[in-house]
Amino acid sequence: MRKLYILVAMLYCGVATSFVSGREDIVAQTNGYVSSREWSFRPVTMQNPALGSTRDLEQYNLYFNLAGDVATVHLPVEWVSMSIFTEEFTVAIENYSATFVADDYWRILFTFEYNSEQWAVEVAAEPTTGKVELAMVTRQGTMRYIGSFWKLF
């Protein structure tokens, strides 16, 4: 019974409603980024699933920016236990699609060509948590990044 009184007091004081409002803000932001096709993905971890290890990315200058049909990429890739930090490059994207999946997340797919190689990108964005997973797939393998969307500057 005491817990019920505390919950009622929190609701009355607005504590619980601010939490709900914060969650609604995250949902609105994520949905806005997806619908506008203008976002900056900032990773905090990366993984090459074939190698298994996950690395923390403490370098804040890493990003995958999308502005309409153009992507600007500055992300590390790791093939055969060797890190390769990409230089920033800008490419035109193709085959863009965004679908809201029944499990309540956005699935964004598109492709681009870089250095005569085709890359496929898959993004899973969870509006309720703000968590975003970006996977880049090429002939050499797959790289996965976990992070969040930010406003494109």
On the question of pLDDT at 9 being above 70, the answer is: no
Q: Is the pLDDT of residue 15 over 70?
A: no
The model's pLDDT over 116-138, given as tens digits with 9 standing for 90+, comes to 889 999 999 999 889 999 999 98
Domain ranges of the chain: 3-150
Q: Tokens representing 122?
A: 């898959």
Q: What is the pLDDT of residues 62-94, one digit of tens each?
A: 899 999 999 999 888 776 555 566 678 899 999
Q: pLDDT tens digits for 27-73?
A: 888 888 988 999 999 999 998 887 777 888 876 688 999 999 999 99
Considering the segment(s) 3-150 as one domain, its CATH architecture is Beta Barrel (2.40)
Token pair 């093939």 in the structure block, residue: 79
**Count helices and strands in the chain by DSSP H and E runs:** 2, 11
Are the C-beta atoms of 145 and 126 separated by less than 8 Å? no
Its pTM stands at 0.78
Q: Are 131 and 27 in contact (CB under 8 A)?
A: no
Contact 69, 92 (CB under 8 A): yes
Write down the pLDDT at residue 10.
34
Give me the percent of the chain exceeding a pLDDT of 90: 40
Tell me the three state secondary structure of residue 61. coil
Residue 75 has a pLDDT of: 87
